[in-house]
Amino acid sequence: MTGFSATSILDPAWLAERLRLARALYGPAPERVLGTVWWYSTSSVLVAPPLEALVHTGRAVDPALDAVTLEIHPDGRLVDAHSSRPFDGDAQELGRAMGAALQEAVAAVSSACGAGERALWAIATDSIANRALWAGQAARNTGRALAVVDAVADGIGPVLPRPRFERYGERLLVRRVSCCLIDKATGQPKCASCPNQHPDERVRRIRSALG
């Protein structure tokens, strides 16, 4: 694995190399598609350290790009991330700081691949919701996770679509607001939870996947 500062996302040449590696993984899809697929995994890894720390310990780490190191496999897949600094502030203040970092990253990725910023922010919404929920489930405290998501979303502001959740029996899942476009890159079917399908079909496929 190789560590890169998350500020690398702001470097057009570095992003061009990420798109080249994504093309090797997923095939000759348009750059807008490859960039969206790449951002779907990148945003999840990027927001994980502060959200997981806050849910598990009550204290976040700094989400600023210059504090975060991304661990990347040689084939281009993002594996992990960590922050070098603690963050002194509550969940809403964390949201403001995370929003500033995401604003820089979203603008850079949009410029590099041509994906719309609104679509990239929607992906960030689902990344925040999923990472916090997974941390809450691991800590057996989903109530805390949902409170963190609400406060972080408040701090980021209206540029971030509101995170949503839904229950399937005893299972709480994120109700996605974004599409990763993996089907456009690979030719495989849409994800079961993809919002770009009829709601009844989405529910049917999720229930089937859950067994």
Q: Which residue has the tokens 């929920």?
A: 133
Q: Domain locations in the chain?
A: 2-161
User: Is 161 within 8 Å of 194 (Cβ atoms)?
Assistant: no
Q: Which sign, positive or negative, has the C-alpha torsion 129, 135, 143, 173?
A: positive
Would you tell me the crossing angle of helices 117-138 and 142-156 to the nearest 10 degrees?
150
Supply the pLDDT for residue 161: 98
Is the separation of the CB atoms in 174 and 126 below 8 Å? yes
Per-residue pLDDT of the chain (211 residues; tens, 9 = 90+): 799 999 999 999 999 999 999 999 988 899 999 999 999 999 999 999 999 999 999 999 999 999 999 999 998 889 999 999 999 999 999 999 999 999 999 999 999 999 999 999 999 999 999 999 999 999 999 999 999 999 999 999 999 999 999 999 999 999 999 999 999 888 888 999 999 999 999 999 999 999 8
pLDDT at res. 23: 93
Task: Indicate the pTM of the whole model.
Answer: 0.96
Please state which architecture CATH assigns to domain 2-161: Orthogonal Bundle (1.10)
